[in-house]
Amino acid sequence: MKLPAQQLFYPSILNYVCFTPSIFPKMPSSPTRRKPRNCLWIPILLCLFNELSFAEAESSTILLPSQQHNADSVSTTFSAHCPAPDPSLNYRPVIGILSHPGDGASGRLSNATNASYIAASYVKFVESGGARVIPLIFNEPEEILFEKLELVNGILYPGGWAKNGLYYDIVEKIFKKILEKNDAGDHFPVYAICLGFELLSMIVSEDRNILETFDGANQASTLQFVKNINIEGTLFQRFPPELLKKLSTDCLVMQNHHYGISPERMQANQELAKFFKILTTSMDEYNKVQK
């Protein structure tokens, strides 16, 4: 399809004309100043018509990318087609998010003892990466819960407060199933946030008292990368270099928890030291270092 060059230039001309007067100061309203003000349009219009005439002389038509690609007389450096998807990648994975006890509103929505919720922010976070979500209700029958586990490609453990009882038991059972999947060659990622990572630390260490107290509630902080750490294959591998640098110099990270684990305690626990590799550390309000 060929379009006259003038049709594509008109919108930009109108915008240019509409906004140009704003760059000139307002003139006094006296009769002696009116003529120079009106005359300002003359060089502007002349300039615009010269630009239009030059465009018409240069080319009377504008080609679409596909036409440029096929035209012998026009050279192009871009392709008209998008690259083919990588067949080895799943562009629409399904992620299971485990629900947390309560109604998420301090009982204002429901006081039922069997109530549970998933914060919308976790769902939106997963969906923003192109994935879909299946809710895993922590207190539903286990046969249903583990049937759902076979339908997802990964798990997100959310933040919260529940560190014992049925919730702890279900987190542990799901985690053991995930380890079995990965040991069998099924790549099955886990993303644990706040409470989720605290529970995994307790499960892996086989010590329910492994956590330490920190003052990191509602605090912005930096991330300090471990010296000579290799981030290939980690969460940070796709971060641009300038963002990686800013993470260690600017307070870009949100901390909102009271428990964590220090690098010393993690390294002292044989199970944790074997299972996890420390990537970054951060300090709480009183400069106490936590991983």
Q: How far, in Å, CA of 243 to CA of 241, rounded?
A: 5
Instruction: Select the CATH number that applies to the domain covering 90-210 from these four: 1.10.357.140, 3.40.50.40, 3.30.160.60, 3.40.50.880.
Output: 3.40.50.880
Contacts of 16 (CB under 8 A, 6+ apart): 48
pLDDT at 26: 46
pLDDT at 152: 97
Domain positions in the chain are 3-26+34-70, 90-210, 211-291
pLDDT block averages, 10 residues each, the chain of length 291: 37 35 43 50 49 51 52 48 79 94 90 93 94 96 96 96 96 97 95 96 96 91 92 90 94 90 94 94 81 59
Contact 79, 70 (CB under 8 A): no
Per-residue DSSP letters for 190-253? Answer: EEE-THHHHHHHHHHHT-TT--EEEEEEEEEE--EEPTT---TTSTTTTS-HHHHHHHHHS--E
- 8-state DSSP, 83: P
Q: Which of 18, 47, 194, 251 is catalytic?
A: 194
pTM of the model: 0.69
Beta bridge partners of 280: 225
pLDDT at 61: 57
Q: How far, in Å, CA of 218 to CA of 197, rounded?
A: 18
What value, to the nearest 5°, has the Cα angle with vertex 59 and ends 58 and 64?
A: 140
Residue type, 56: E
Residues in the chain: 291
- 8-state DSSP, 21: G
What is the gyration radius of the CA atoms in the chain, in angstroms?
30
Q: Among this protein's residues, is 82 annotated catalytic?
A: no
pLDDT at 51: 53
pLDDT at 290: 66
pLDDT at 135: 97
Contacts of 115 (CB under 8 A, 6+ apart): 101, 102, 103, 109
pLDDT at 284: 85
Measured distance between the N- and C-terminal CA atoms of the chain, rounded to whole angstroms: 60
Contact 189, 218 (CB under 8 A): no
Contacts of 67 (CB under 8 A, 6+ apart): 1, 74
Contact 159, 199 (CB under 8 A): no
